[in-house]
Amino acid sequence: MLSFYNTLTRKKEAFKPLNDKEAGLYTCGPTVYNYAHLGNLRTYLFEDILKRVLINNGYAVKHVMNITDVGHLTSDADEGEDKIETSALKEKKTVWEIAEFYTKSFKQSLADLNISEPDIWCKATDHIQEQIAWIKKLEEKGFTYKISDGLYFDTSKFGGYEKLRGQKTSDMKEGARVEKNTEKKNPSDFALWKFSPQDSKRQMEWNSPWGKGFPGWHLECSVMAQKYLGETFDLHCGGIDHIPTHHTNEIAQAEAVTEKPFVNYWLHGEFLVIGKDVRMGKSEGNFITLNTVKEKNVNPLAYRYLVLGTHYRKKLNFTWEALQAAQNALDNLYALVANLGEPKIGCAEFEQKFSEAINDDLNTPKSLAIVWDLLKSDYPNEAKKASLLAFDKIIGLNLRQAKPIAVPKEIKELADKREQARQAKDFTTADKLRDEINKAGFKVEDTLAGPVIKK
């Protein structure tokens, strides 16, 4: 049985798609004004695992991801500057150049992490007319009002505004922050269309029935998700920061028009934190990009391995030591897998255990433990290899590319002798043999699944 924790119902539920054997998936994409950081990428990794698990369960997945290239202001509460325009000013480039540059860089990070691309990429700026048409429908139904800086959605008119986040605006920490705009009727009301400022010219702006301006950030996701996946679809994801505002607003503006449920399953990934439990973020100024990881000669897939080690609904504390340990574990895994020879029929017992773990709300830490248990087991090598390659369709660590290291016969014999000495608790002999191996330019590492020889 495949089950996920659904933020909307606050419980784990069996996955039942709208259409048999199909799954519509929308994942909120990046705002392309800067590099994606390891925190963002943690969320895209969890979504990649979700997609692979759906496919592995026989679903034809239609995956849509947006690129936010306009309208995301420095505060989610429709205040501040447009992130892309600010970045363009700072880097002395056009907004279009900024968006293109960081979109390309984002796609490179996905490739480095073995994250499969969506079936449909959609840019906010390519869907301006659809967004204007949506606002017109909201206007006809009486959900909008105009104030000096834009056209807003009246959240008090939409019953069930709080259903995803389970909290009233007045009970939220963010409440104080959103009340800044005194013209708004309710603190949680949000902009559907923002007017261009009178005193300066924006690079991105469009005419609309309400005046020259640009769409509010939340609108693009409701409009594009429904365009490509239908009025109601199966799964929608993002990081937990999207629950109280962005996804709450997406639901309101979608359901206000259609009067149908927007999404059946909402899945949210916890934060990557750093230092003293602080969220990694661009505005927090504590972010690390994948380029820095690569500059330090760490394989990006070591970051993937690290992320798999913690369940997506738990915080993960980033440290360079933890990443180094992940790199080490991954190298050991490659060395062990490479020596297993050709795959034959897999181990049904372990394959069963693995599916149960991963189908249970994407339990990746348990799945990784099963990988090591299988390596340690008495099953024949070719069976282990077959099952590990099957698991890799989900964990995505490129195990197939693991190449055996050429280890001379003498070194192998020394390592075998050392292992025998170790088993017999003769550590003096074991250490002496280890020294001999090291002198010859090799090293042995003891892993959960036995010793591994490396150059």
Binding site for ligand AMP (CB under 6 A): 28, 30-31, 39-40, 42-43, 238-239, 241-242, 269, 271-272, 279-281
Q: Which residue is nearest to ligand AMP (CB)?
A: 239
Between 43 and 169, CB nearer to ligand AMP:
43
From the list Zn ion, ligand AMP, none, partner contacted by residue 221 (C-beta under 5 to 8 A by kind): Zn ion
Between 124 and 394, CB nearer to Zn ion:
124
From the list Zn ion, ligand AMP, none, partner contacted by residue 40 (C-beta under 5 to 8 A by kind): ligand AMP
Closest approach of Cβ 238 to Zn ion, in Å?
A: 6
Between 266 and 334, CB nearer to Zn ion:
266
**What's the chain look like in SS3?**
CCEEEECCCCEEEECCCCCCCEEEEEECCCECCCCCEHHHHHHHHHHHHHHHHHHHCCCEEEEEEEEECCCCEEECCCEEEEHHHHHHHHHCCCHHHHHHHHHHHHHHHHHHCCCCCCCEEEEHHHHHHHHHHHHHHHHHCCCEEEECCEEEECHHHCCCCCCCCCCCHHHCCCHHHHCCCCCCCCCCCEEEEEECCCCCCCCCCECCCCCCEEECHHHHHHHHHHHHHCCCEEEEEEEHHHHHHHHHHHHHHHHHHHCCCCEEEEEEECCEEECCCEECCCCCCCCCEHHHHHHCCCCHHHHHHHHHCCCCCCCEEECHHHHHHHHHHHHHHHHHHHCCCCCCCCCHHHHHHHHHHHHECCCHHHHHHHHHHHHHCCCCHHHHHHHHHHHHHHHCCCHHHCCCCCCCHHHHHHHHHHHHHHHCCCHHHHHHHHHHHHHCCCEEEEECCEEEEEC
Closest approach of Cβ 163 to ligand AMP, in Å?
A: 19
From the list Zn ion, ligand AMP, none, partner contacted by residue 336 (C-beta under 5 to 8 A by kind): none
Between 215 and 269, CB nearer to ligand AMP:
269
Between 36 and 301, CB nearer to ligand AMP:
36
Closest approach of Cβ 221 to Zn ion, in Å?
A: 3
Closest approach of Cβ 171 to ligand AMP, in Å?
A: 22
Measured in whole angstroms, how far is the alpha carbon of residue 81 from the centre of its chain?
26
Applying CB under 5 A, the residues found at the interface with Zn ion are 28, 221
From the list ligand AMP, Zn ion, none, partner contacted by residue 280 (C-beta under 5 to 8 A by kind): ligand AMP
From the list ligand AMP, Zn ion, none, partner contacted by residue 150 (C-beta under 5 to 8 A by kind): none
Between 106 and 233, CB nearer to ligand AMP:
106
From the list Zn ion, ligand AMP, none, partner contacted by residue 50 (C-beta under 5 to 8 A by kind): none
Of 2, 126, 131, 134, the C-alpha closest to 61 is 2
Between 161 and 271, CB nearer to ligand AMP:
271
Token pair, residue 194, equals 């923002």
Between 67 and 371, CB nearer to ligand AMP:
67
From the list Zn ion, ligand AMP, none, partner contacted by residue 144 (C-beta under 5 to 8 A by kind): none
From the list Zn ion, ligand AMP, none, partner contacted by residue 343 (C-beta under 5 to 8 A by kind): none
Closest approach of Cβ 361 to ligand AMP, in Å?
A: 17
